[in-house]
């Protein structure tokens, strides 16, 4: 392929992590009628996104009994978005739903929990979440839950709680995919010991290239791949480079993960925090694990529309076949098989 052909390449994109539901919720609460249509849908279209995982995150002020209510409100908003924009998007609940949605020109949306705060100590809530269309969940964000410790609590050296071990089995019974991004190192190892079904890391980069606690070691990358899962490479600047991050640095993480895990176990989990910070304006505390005043972003990869530029660089670096696998095929293949 010539450089001109690579420049024109526009790959379909699957993204394993975009907090746009939280951003839409905040805008909705401020009186915006259609924040998804105004703020997100155009960029997803420009970027060529065909499959998007939508995590539901519990903000600090809702930790505790309010977490379940807030999660239900955001799930309701997701279904409202899908109904309002049915010509452009659809929530997929089964692997067999994915191809018809994408083939029809719509974006397939998959609901996820980022952290088990809404579950609390009641594992029955996993079945409730499943009935509401949630197909992917992590046991923690950076903080501690009843099930496990997140990355910010790594100093405890803890693994999963006994309830967390039961949670893994319950998720597998429900065929809900387990996500280990944000889990402590000891927790990832514990998952590897108790999980039977494949598990994933939706938005984590490579610690070998950038020594941040949120990134995965090569051993962990192999562990995820060995389970049958994939690693979605995170584009958040401080996870990509300890200096000024670039698009090439991000692609280096994809290349490294592929060398470690194999080409079939790597995807994208962009985690566009720049958009989230500007829309939600949260108070960013120690649990983000980075000084908010020192956040650096990849200037050409800060929002879904920027995937259009990433496509050509992936093709230029890896060729069309490998670039397509990293851009979307690996992730779509995984969820097509895993979400029954």
Q: What is the DSSP string of 161-228?
A: -HHHHHHHHHHHHHTPEEE-TTB-HHHHHHHHHH--S-EEBTT--BTTTS--TTSBPHHHHHHHHHHT
> Which residues are paired to 149 by β-bridges?
144
Tally DSSP H helices, then E strands, for the chain.
Answer: 15, 9
Please, which residues have CB within 8 angstroms of residue 285's CB and are 6 or more apart in sequence? 60
Q: Is CATH 3.40.1350.10 the right assignment for the domain spanning 3-338?
A: no
pLDDT digits (tens, 9 = 90+) for 106-133: 999 999 999 889 998 999 999 999 999 9
Kindly state the DSSP code that residue 149 receives in the 8-state scheme: B
* Predicted local confidence at residue 9, as pLDDT: 65
Torsion region of 101: left, alpha or beta (phi above 0 gives left; psi -120 to 50 gives alpha): alpha
Residue 182, pLDDT score: 87
Domain spans in the chain, listed from the N-terminal domain onward: 3-338
Instruction: Tokens for 143, please give them.
Output: 């903080």
Look at the alpha carbons of 334, 336, 337, 340 in this order and tell me if their dihedral is positive or negative.
positive
CA distance 11 to 250: 17
pLDDT of residue 48: 98
State how far the Cα of 267 lies from the Cα of 230, in Å rounded to an integer: 7
Closest CA to 74 of 121, 16, 137, 26: 26
pLDDT, tens digit, 9 for 90 and up, residues 171-182: 999 999 999 998
Contact indicator for 31, 82 with CB cutoff of 8 Å: no
Element housing 232 (H / E): strand 231-233
Distances 2 to 82, 124, 318 between C-alpha atoms, Å: 39, 55, 13
Q: Which tokens go with 61?
A: 């002020």
Beta bridge partners of 89: 107
The helix/strand/coil state of 71 is: helix
End-to-end CA distance of the chain: 38
Sites in the chain below the pLDDT cut of 50: 1-6, 283-287
Instruction: Find, among 269, 196, 190, 259, the residue nearest to 231 by Cα.
Output: 269
| Residue (of 311, 310, 273, 302) closest to 290 by Cα position | 273
Task: Give the number of other CB atoms < 10 A from CB of residue 60.
Answer: 12
- In this structure, what is the dihedral angle of CA atoms 163, 196, 108, 62, given to the nearest 10 degrees? 10
Residue located via tokens 């979307």: 328
């Amino acid at each position: 392929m010539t450089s001109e052909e690579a420049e024109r390449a526009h790959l379909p994109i699957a993204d394993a992590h975009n907090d746009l539901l939280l951003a839409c919720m905040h805008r909705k609460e401020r009186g915006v009628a259609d924040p998804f249509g105004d703020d997100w849908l155009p960029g997803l279209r420009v970027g060529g996104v065909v499959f998007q995982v939508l995590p539901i995150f519990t903000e600090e002020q809702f930790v505790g009994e309010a977490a379940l209510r807030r999660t239900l409100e955001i799930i309701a908003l997701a279904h409202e978005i899908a109904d309002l924009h049915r010509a452009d998007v659809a929530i997929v609940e089964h692997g067999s739903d994915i191809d018809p949605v994408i083939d029809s020109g719509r974006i397939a949306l998959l609901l996820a929990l980022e952290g088990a705060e809404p579950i609390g100590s009641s594992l029955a809530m996993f079945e409730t979440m499943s009935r509401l269309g949630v197909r992917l969940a992590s046991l923690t964000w950076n903080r501690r839950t009843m099930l496990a410790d997140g990355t910010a609590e790594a100093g405890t050296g803890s693994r999963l709680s006994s309830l967390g071990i039961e949670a893994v089995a319950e998720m597998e019974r429900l065929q809900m995919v387990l996500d280990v991004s944000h889990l402590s190192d000891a927790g990832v190892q514990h998952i590897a010991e108790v999980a039977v079904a494949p598990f994933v890391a939706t938005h984590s980069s490579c610690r070998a290239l950038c020594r941040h606690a949120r990134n995965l070691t090569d051993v962990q990358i192999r562990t995820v791949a060995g389970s049958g899962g994939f690693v979605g490479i995170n584009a958040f600047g401080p996870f990509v480079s300890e200096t000024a991050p670039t698009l090439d640095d991000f692609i280096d993480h994809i290349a490294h993960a592929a060398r470690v895990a194999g080409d079939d176990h790597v995807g994208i989990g962009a985690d566009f925090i720049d958009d989230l910070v500007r829309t939600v304006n949260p108070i960013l505390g120690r649990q983000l694990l980075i000084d908010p005043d020192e956040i650096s972003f990849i200037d050409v990869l800060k929002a879904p529309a920027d995937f259009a530029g990433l496509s050509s660089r992936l093709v230029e670096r890896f060729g069309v076949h490998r670039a397509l696998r990293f851009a979307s095929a690996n992730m779509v293949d995984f969820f097509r098989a895993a979400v029954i």
